[in-house]
Amino acid sequence: RGSLSSSPTSDDDDSSVYKLLERGTVNYEACAGVVGLGSYFASLVSCSNAGDDSFIEGNQTRGSAPTGEACSEDSSGMQDNDVSVNVIKEAYRRIRAVETPLVEALSLGLSRCHKVRILGTGEASGRLECHASLPTVSFVHEIISPSEIVAACESHGICCRCSSFLCTPQLANDFDFDTSEGVVRLSLVHYNTLDEVNMVLNVLERIP
């Protein structure tokens, strides 16, 4: 709380954590964001059937809820101050339940092209360990430059980026990619769909 609101634990304690993290004024954006995030987590948990097959199907078809599933009628009954550690854990569990198959589908589709190398994959499978990673996939192509891939995606309304993304020269050397072009990065979230993943793969396959 002190780090977000700049409320000191002791007026005379210069080593307080809040003073190390927040040297200026109150971080209003962070405070407002935390409140909004709590409301969003509560809305995810109040939706029924999350984590099972119907939750995944709902994500594909997009219903009225943030994740695409149908919310129960009393979903607005949970207030911001009802957000507990268990609610946050359950929200993240439900988010991961949708994001994992999306990343797996994207990783599998990319790995089918022998000229594509996905960064951070196991040597044997060439695919991401999706259960242990964020829903972000970075890759390079042996022939097509990252900027060309991004341009092709953007021409079809697909948002992605290419860069070294603050990667150090040493780490770039370990991953063996050119920092002048960087890598292509595709980021997924739980309100993306498998149809959208397939659309990305189709666009990539058609790049000349």
d(CA 106, CA 113): 12
pLDDT, position 152: 96
10-residue mean pLDDT series, the chain (208 residues):
46 56 70 84 73 44 40 45 82 90 93 91 54 82 96 95 90 88 93 94 93
pTM over 0.95: no
d(CA 145, CA 131): 29
Burial tier of 159 (Cβ tally within 10 Å: 0-12, 13-18, 19+): exposed
pLDDT, position 129: 58
